[in-house]
Amino acid sequence: MTGPRGPVDSSRIPRFAGPATFARLPRLDEVDRCDVAVLGVPFDGGVSYRPGARFGPAAVREASRLLRPYHPGLDVSPFAALQVADAGDIACNPFDIREAIETIEHSAGELVSGGARPVTIGGDHTIALPLLRALSKRHGPLAVLHFDAHLDTWDTYFGAEYTHGTPFRRAVEEGILDTEALSHVGTRGPLYGKKDLQEDRRLGFGIVTSGDVLRRGVTEVTDALRQRIGDRPLYVSVDIDVLDPAHAPGTGTPEAGGLTSRELLEILRGLAGANLVGADVVEVAPAYDHAEITSVAASHVAYDLVSLLALGHGAHAPES
């Protein structure tokens, strides 16, 4: 079997040309196997405020043109270590949330059953639930590391059970999460009441606020998260609004006082060696972005997640 097919060589084809896939990687139908599938889910039917995340996958792919094949922070060349491919977008019903969730679960399940680990670009946070369902069928109950300004463990919005503010409550109720290893990181801002925190704690989540990251520092926070996760199969879900609006203005429900992109990336890099089985980056809404600030940040988050998956295979970059 030949080695993995990597991105288009930017020394031969300029970055602003060539395929419009993530990092200009090959499409899924162009490779004979796939270890990591970058999957788009352009669905935003579950948002409660500003819509537009359905255009997130295209914006993140466009911003990813500048990514390079070697990650010096993790000392890995992820596209050489693994066959990474762009699996395109899931075409789900924009008018029926339940049907969309079923479609996402089925499509992601096909990738997972074929041996690929998904790094999914959303779309709103509703899509995390069907992705967790698909992965739990293969790996059992999952540890979750959830980066977000918000808890996303509310019961309903306007009587609706499936929205971008409810996926993790539904996942706990369905028994697909390991309630000994659930953490929010970067939460902040006003809540409906103190009961929101009490309910979240009852579901099993620990909370590291954006203020905690500032006061305790990235290293201490990451060490605590690693202890909570252990060697369990881990799913990382990144709502881009975990970043301060200065670093990610292009999102549907921005909150002041968030993480910097540097803090987020450094926490992710501290997960090197964890048993990562899948991840998502959601809530990029390019209509509210400026100069691709948000989509550039999201593309780097996705790249770091792919790199972590490569390290999970024991890969390191060869000496040149």
The pLDDT tens digits of the residues spanning 57-115 come to 999 999 999 999 999 999 999 999 999 999 999 999 999 999 999 999 999 999 999 99
Cβ contacts of 134 within 8 Å, gap of 6 or more: 105, 108, 109, 112
pTM: predicted TM-score of the whole model, two decimal places: 0.96
Q: Using CA atoms, how far apart are residues 100 and 102, in angstroms rounded to an integer?
A: 5
Q: Using CA atoms, how far apart are residues 22 and 208, in angstroms rounded to an integer?
A: 31
Domains of the chain: 26-312 (3.40.800.10)
Angle between helices 218-229 and 261-269 (to 10 degrees): 40
Residue 319 has pLDDT above 60, yes or no: no
pLDDT of 11 reads 85
Calculate the CA dihedral of residues 151, 156, 161, 163 and round it to 10 degrees.
Answer: -50
pLDDT of 65 reads 97
Q: 184-200, pLDDT tens digit by residue?
A: 999 999 999 999 999 99
Average pLDDT over residues 115-132: 98
Residue 315 has pLDDT above 70, yes or no: no
Residue 317 has pLDDT above 80, yes or no: no
The backbone region for 206, taken as left when phi is positive above 0, alpha when psi lies in -120 to 50, beta otherwise, is: beta
Q: 148-182, pLDDT tens digit by residue?
A: 999 999 999 999 999 999 999 999 999 999 999 99
Residue 4 has pLDDT above 60, yes or no: yes
Residue 7 has pLDDT above 80, yes or no: yes
Residue 320 has pLDDT above 50, yes or no: no
Calculate the CA dihedral of residues 66, 69, 74, 80 and round it to 10 degrees.
Answer: 150
Q: Using CA atoms, how far apart are residues 103 and 130, in angstroms rounded to an integer?
A: 8
User: Nearest Cα to 162, choosing from 110, 237, 99?
Assistant: 99
Q: Which runs of consecutive H residues, i.e. helices, occur in the chain?
A: 56-63, 78-81, 97-113, 128-139, 167-173, 194-203, 210-216, 218-229, 261-269, 293-312
pLDDT of 262 reads 98
Is the CA virtual torsion 107, 108, 112, 116 positive or negative?
positive
Average pLDDT over residues 204-208: 98
CA dist 35 → 8, 119, 234 (Å): 18, 11, 17
Helix (H) or strand (E) holding 163: none
- Look at the block and give the residue holding tokens 């987020």: 264
Q: 283-312, pLDDT tens digit by residue?
A: 999 999 999 999 999 999 999 999 999 998
- Look at the block and give the residue holding tokens 């309903």: 156
Other residues' Cβ atoms within 10 Å of the Cβ of residue 178: 21
The backbone region for 204, taken as left when phi is positive above 0, alpha when psi lies in -120 to 50, beta otherwise, is: left
